[in-house]
Chain A
């Protein structure tokens, strides 16, 4: 169980950095947005992992269960809303990318910078 916990945190670190790599090293704007959403998912994973309580269940109160152990509801609430806000902001980002494509004719960062320099 302890090892699984550490493994969760390691996967969080690796996913975070895979997403970050896509954001800083890739020149395609859509790829950057995909990287950003992986980065975001990694943060969600961290929060939900911290909320887990050993032997716990989902925080839904059931009648007739003696001394129930619940996982922490608070990180779940934060992440639930964060996922929906995340998709809205991603949609806004995609909208900006589409507009950039329409104005510049490309979504590669190097092309856009070159056009801007002219």
Chain B
């Protein structure tokens, strides 16, 4: 049954991807990308990756679609048909596909517990999580504590990308004099005049927030954590901005606060590391944060997950505002 479902999902993904590349209507392509992500999330769930499925559903199907649509509103929806070097590209792609498929016959059997990937550090993580960190979700334990350096790096990449978008949109177009056209719809209005999205949205937003907070703080025990929670909370704020208009959303969460969130989360994460240093441990070694090393680990993971969540929320909302608030030139 699972096999059948897996094959079905994978086949649907290939069909969707082909449709995305073939269509010349970019709006259609972006919506299909959202569907593609949702299928991918379902497939991740089948492969036992609950945390990853949650992230892919929140980011791929939710936020990424909104960002692409925001960019499309500024650049136009139609792609010109262009077939200059199509044959060359097709032959390169076909040859490479065959090579990669040929290589797959040498891969270890699917689900083989003796495959090399399961022999290195993974069993150690699974063994030691219970005694060293004592939280049920091994993914969170590895992410927050065992490989805390990696995650710190990722948070700073997210932060840097957010700063990069703000810098890019800080520049004014060079020919803005007189040529400026405003958006066809007033950006301050949102969907305020559409009754059904408004009523449904108002009903949903508090629950999305609540779910985001649950995912944030329950990440030690079940699927979830800062990355997913940040994306979900950002989605709630973006939905609010779509319904009530940009201006209103910025009144609730002003630019300055958003920039503070972006930097504050990353600083909180780094600060926990420095605090561990000052208390006599290694950088990001949470065991010294409390008298009992396991309690220290719990405090450390809670704090750094909060830092991750705050930065991701701040960056995603700021990026959304950067695209949505841009006038069309």
Contact assessment for A99 and B171 in the assembled complex, using a CB-CB cutoff below 8 Å: yes
> Nearest Cβ in chain B — how far from A96, in angstroms?
6
Enumerate A13-70 residues with CB–CB distance to B below 8 Å: 13-22, 24-28, 30-31, 33-35, 37-38, 41, 44-45, 48-62, 69-70
The answer to whether A31 and B29 touch (CB under 8 A), given A4-B7, A79-B52, is yes
Total interface residues on A, using CB and 8 Å?
A: 88
Q: How far is the CA of A96 from the CA of B137 in the complex (A)?
A: 38
Number of A-B pairs whose CB atoms are under 8 Å? 302
Contact assessment for A103 and B174 in the assembled complex, using a CB-CB cutoff below 8 Å: yes
Residues in B neighbouring A10, C-beta threshold 8 A? 101, 104
Q: How far is the CA of A28 from the CA of B174 in the complex (A)?
A: 22
> Nearest Cβ in chain B — how far from A63, in angstroms?
8
Q: How far is the CA of A50 from the CA of B13 in the complex (A)?
A: 18
Q: How far is the CA of A23 from the CA of B159 in the complex (A)?
A: 26
Interface residues of A, dominant DSSP: helix
Contact assessment for B109 and A48 in the assembled complex, using a CB-CB cutoff below 8 Å: no
Contact assessment for B82 and A52 in the assembled complex, using a CB-CB cutoff below 8 Å: no
Q: Contact mask B95-125 → A, CB, 8 Å, 1/0? A: 0110011001101011111010110011001
> Nearest Cβ in chain A — how far from B34, in angstroms?
11
Contact assessment for A38 and B169 in the assembled complex, using a CB-CB cutoff below 8 Å: no
Q: Which of A6, A76, A79, A95 contacts B164 (CB 8 A)?
A: A95
Q: How far is the CA of A65 from the CA of B11 in the complex (A)?
A: 35
> Nearest Cβ in chain A — how far from B114, in angstroms?
10
Q: How far is the CA of A33 from the CA of B72 in the complex (A)?
A: 12
Q: How far is the CA of A32 from the CA of B33 in the complex (A)?
A: 13
Residues in B neighbouring A107, C-beta threshold 8 A? 75-76
> Nearest Cβ in chain B — how far from A115, in angstroms?
13
Which B residues are within 8 Å of any A CB, using their own CB? 3, 6-7, 10-11, 13-14, 17-18, 20-21, 26, 29-30, 33, 36-37, 40, 43-44, 47-52, 55-56, 59-60, 63-64, 67-68, 70-72, 74-76, 79-80, 82, 84-86, 89-90, 92-94, 96-97, 100-101, 104-105, 107, 109-113, 115, 117-118, 121-122, 125-126, 129-130, 136-139, 142-143, 147, 150-151, 154, 157-158, 161-162, 164-165, 168-169, 171, 173-174, 221-223, 225, 227, 230-231, 312, 315-316, 319, 322-323, 326, 329
Nearest 4 CB-CB pairings of A with B: A5-B110, A54-B111, A88-B161, A25-B89
